[in-house]
Amino acid sequence: MDARSLALSVLAATLDGESLDTAFAAGDRRAKLEPRDRAFAHLLVLTGLRRLGQIEDAIGRCVEKPNQLPARERNILRLGAAQLLFLGTAPHAAVNSAVNGTRDARLKGLVNAVLRRLSREGAAIVAAQDSARLNTPDWLWRQLVAEVGEARARAVAEVHLHEPPLDLSVAGNAADWAVQLGAVVLPTGSLRLISHGAVDGLPGFAEGAWWVQDAAAALPARLLLHALPGAQGALVADLCAAPGGKTAQLAAAGARVSAVDRDDTRLARVGENLRRLRLPATLIAADARQWQAPHLFDAVLLDAPCTATGTIRRNPDVPWHKDAKSALDLAPVQEALLAAAARMLRPGGVLVYCVCSLDPREGRERAEAFLAAHPAFQRLPIAYDEVANLDVVSAEGDLRTYPYHLAEQAGMDGFFAARFKRLA
């Protein structure tokens, strides 16, 4: 299997509903490519997904009814178009590989003709396209415009088109590691690398000096720690803990952390990372909704399952897997997890609820519903100085980041977090 065959396999699996991470993991095991070829396959798929709306529009100018093509040939055209329109691949290489991969002999001529036309006319087609609108599904576009207006919806969509930088959380002095890594220190305290090699080859990886964590994803744990009288020795539960970045933050601050996650495989990876970081935590494989905690906690952090629309720049398959109803399907899970988290907390304790979603039904509305159902809790509003005076605090006092925040430094994930206190 070569790089383009791997890309074709992963794109097909992803558009059929499999997560991008799962599809890549399975494909990588089968292909066993050299790092350079593997990187090209990944770039090809990510570009195909990030620019899928533009690609579909371009192909639609060349084929009368592209949705009636067999799935394999349609995906071959998508990947061929991605190479010609956005990756600068030599036309002969993109066209020949696509034609050779077409199994239906009757369609080889069509694939050849479409891609040759795009090699000639593609630049003009792309220049005339509305990229932000085309690459955002209708359901998500309507949701964004309703929430933040069209101008900011466009700003979100534009960030989604670009490869995100690498953000790191550091257990020690961030400034010291910034020098060694050639990184910048963001206002929030995270390190950011715009360009880098393999993560496990970077300075500090083997020493366990840092871990990968988007700047926005690092904020909820910091907000929890800000509200604790003292983190050293505090009993903290991290629910739905994988991939473990928040567990590491809490443990690095001296808290005694119980990290709970229902996925054994993902929890095992949390353990591996904590060992590299030399940080302690108790790992518990359980569904937090049913888990019987052995004691009450001083604080609970719940990063609930959600539609993940705040992470589209990292996971460009998300908008093509979800729809307007997806958040409704997850609401009962989020509600049950919040109720369980509330039961685990001692009087006077702090609860932080967060989701990597842009949908207000998973964020603001979920927080309001929790307060209405739990009179023993009150909101602990977030102060601007807790978030480096960035404009990411809502009128209610909750955290609300969008991908266009920190735009000058290449943006950040979309996150919502609300902080509550259990009354004595």
Q: From CA 200, how far away is CA 189, in angstroms rounded?
A: 21
CATH number of the structural domain spanning residue 250 = 3.40.50.150
Task: Give the lowest-confidence range in 20-24, 208-212, 279-283, 291-295.
Answer: 20-24
Residue 197: per-residue pLDDT:
81
Nearest to residue 13, comparing CAs of 49, 55, 51, 58?
49
Q: From CA 89, how far away is CA 94, in angstroms rounded?
A: 6
Pairing of strands 345-355, 297-303: parallel
Q: At which of 115, 134, 153 does a domain end?
A: 134
pLDDT range class, residue 30, cuts 50, 70, 90: confident
Catalytic entry in 62, 240, 354, 356: 356
341: left (phi over 0), alpha (psi -120 to 50) or beta: alpha
Residue 65: per-residue pLDDT:
87
112 or 66, which is more confident? Answer: 112
* Spatial contact of 242 and 269, defined as CB atoms under 8 Å apart: yes
Q: At which of 99, 134, 169 does a domain end?
A: 134
Q: At which of 79, 106, 134 does a domain end?
A: 134
Same domain, 418 and 306: yes
* Spatial contact of 160 and 50, defined as CB atoms under 8 Å apart: yes
Q: Is residue 205 part of a domain?
A: no
Residue 169: per-residue pLDDT:
97
What value does the mean pLDDT take over residues 379-391? Answer: 96
Q: Which residues of 12-37 are buried (b: 16+ CB within 10 A; e: fewer)?
A: bbbbeebebeebbeebeeebebeeeb
Query: Which residue range(s) make up the domain with 48?
Result: 3-134
Predicted TM-score (pTM) of this structure: 0.94
Please report the beta strands in 256-372, taking only residues with DSSP state E, as ranges in sequence order. 256-261, 282-285, 297-303, 345-355
pLDDT range class, residue 32, cuts 50, 70, 90: confident
Number of domains in the chain: 2
Q: From CA 79, how far away is CA 94, in angstroms rounded?
A: 9
Q: Is residue 68 part of a domain?
A: yes
* Spatial contact of 103 and 70, defined as CB atoms under 8 Å apart: no
Q: From CA 359, how far away is CA 29, in angstroms rounded?
A: 35
Q: Is residue 161 part of a domain?
A: no
Question: Has 62 been annotated as catalytic?
Answer: no
